[in-house]
Structure 1
Amino acid sequence: MEQEDATVTEAADTRSIGEKAGRGLGWSLLGNLVMKAGSFVMGLILARLLSATDFGVYAVALAATSFVMVVKDLGIMMATIHWRGSLEEMSPTATLLNMISATALYGVFWTIAPFYAAYAGSPEAAPVVRLLTAVILVEAVTAVRSATLLRRFQQAHNSMAILAGFAVNAAVAITLGAGGAGPYSFAWGQVAQAVVTGLIVLRVARMPFKVGFDRMIAARLLRFGIPSAAGIGLEAVLLNVGYIIVGDIMGAQPLGYYLLAFNVSSWVPGLIGTAIRTVSVAGFSRLAEQESDSLSQGVQRSVPLLYSAVLPLAIVMGLLAHPLVAFLYGQKWDQAAGVLRFLAVVMVVRMLTSFALDILNGRGATAMTVWINIGYGIALVPAVIAGTHLQGIRGAAAGQAAASLFVALPLAVLGLRAAGVRVAPIAPALLRPTLGGLASSAAVLGVLSVSGGAPPLVTLCLGSAAGLIVYVLIVVPVDRLRALPGVAVRLRATP
Structure 2
Amino acid sequence: MTESLRGKIFSGLIWSAVRVWGNRLGGLLIFFILARLLSPTEFGVYAAVWAILLFLEVFTEQGMADAIVQAPAIAPGQLNAVFLVNFAASLAICGGVVLLAPEIAAWLAMPAIEFPLQVASASIVINALGFCQLALYRRQFQYKWLAMRSLLATLLSGGVGIGLALQGFGVWALIVQYITAAFCNLLLLWIRPLWRPSRSVSWRGFAQLLRFSSKLLFSRVLEAGNARVFELAIGAWLGAAMLGLYSVGSRVHQIVIQLLSSVVLDVGLSGFSRMAGDPLRFTQAYYKAITATTAIAMPIFIILAAVAPEFCVAVFGRQWHASGPILQWLAILGAVQSIQYINGAAITALGRSDKTLIITCAKTAATLAILVNYGHDDLLKLVEAFVYGQLLVSPLGFALGKAQIGFAWRSLFVKVWPYVIAAGAAYWSVWVARQYWVLESVWLRLTLLASLAGTVYSILSITLSFNTFVTTLRNLRHS
Fold conserved (TM > 0.5)?
A: yes
Matched, 1:54 2:61: no
Structure with the greater relative contact order (CA < 8 A, sep ≥ 6): 1 or 2?
Answer: 2
Quote the Cα distance in structure 1 between the aligned partners of 2:164 and 2:323. Answer: 25
Quote the Cα distance in structure 1 between the aligned partners of 2:101 and 2:342. Answer: 32
1:151 maps to a residue whose letter is: R
How far off its partner does 1:190 sit? 1.6
Match of 1:404 in 2: 390
Quote the Cα distance in structure 2 between the aligned partners of 1:372 and 1:268. Answer: 22
Match of 1:327 in 2: 314
Give the alignment of 1:322-361 within 5 angstroms: 322-361=309-348
Match of 2:402 in 1: 417
Give the alignment of 1:19-168 within 5 angstroms: 19-168=7-156
How far off its partner does 1:385 sit? 5.2
Match of 1:457 in 2: 443
Quote the Cα distance in structure 2 between the aligned partners of 1:156 and 1:360. Answer: 26
How far off its partner does 1:341 sit? 1.4
Match of 1:222 in 2: 210
CA root-mean-square deviation: 2.2
2:161 to 163, 166, 173: 173
2:273 maps to a residue whose letter is: S
Q: 1:18 and 1:423, CA in 2 relative to 1: closer, same or farther beyond 3 A?
A: farther
Stretches of structure 1 that go unaligned for 5 or more consecutive residues are 1-10, 484-495
Q: Deviations over 1:144-176 (max 9, x none)?
A: 111111001111111111112112211221122
Q: 1:212 and 1:230, CA in 2 relative to 1: closer, same or farther beyond 3 A?
A: farther
Q: Deviations over 1:344-380 (max 9, x none)?
A: 1121222223332222221111122222111111112
Q: Is the CA contact (8 Å cut-off) linking 2:78 and 2:201 kept in structure 1?
A: no
2:91 maps to a residue whose letter is: T
Q: 1:114 and 1:414, CA in 2 relative to 1: closer, same or farther beyond 3 A?
A: farther
Q: 1:480 and 1:403, CA in 2 relative to 1: closer, same or farther beyond 3 A?
A: closer
How far off its partner does 1:387 sit? 4.5
1:77 maps to a residue whose letter is: A
1:293 maps to a residue whose letter is: L
Give the alignment of 1:420-435 within 5 angstroms: 420-422=405-407, 424=409, 425-435=411-421
- Count residues with an aligned counterpart: 468
Q: 1:292 and 1:325, CA in 2 relative to 1: closer, same or farther beyond 3 A?
A: closer
Q: 1:258 and 1:86, CA in 2 relative to 1: closer, same or farther beyond 3 A?
A: closer
Q: Deviations over 1:181-211 (max 9, x none)?
A: 2222112112112112112111223322325
Q: Is the CA contact (8 Å cut-off) linking 1:106 and 1:137 kept in structure 2?
A: yes
Quote the Cα distance in structure 2 between the aligned partners of 1:212 and 1:188. Answer: 36
1:181 maps to a residue whose letter is: F
Match of 1:297 in 2: 284
Q: Is the CA contact (8 Å cut-off) linking 2:299 and 2:335 kept in structure 1?
A: no
Quote the Cα distance in structure 2 between the aligned partners of 1:438 and 1:350. Answer: 16
Q: Deviations over 1:460-495 (max 9, x none)?
A: 111111111111112235479999xxxxxxxxxxxx
2:428 to 435, 442, 447: 442
Quote the Cα distance in structure 2 between the aligned partners of 1:22 and 1:482. Answer: 19
Quote the Cα distance in structure 2 between the aligned partners of 1:383 and 1:112. Answer: 28
TM-score under structure 1 normalisation?
Answer: 0.89
Matched, 1:376 2:363: yes
Identical positions, percent: 21
TM-score under structure 2 normalisation?
Answer: 0.92
Q: Is the CA contact (8 Å cut-off) linking 2:301 and 2:331 kept in structure 1?
A: yes
Q: 1:292 and 1:109, CA in 2 relative to 1: closer, same or farther beyond 3 A?
A: same
Match of 1:208 in 2: 196
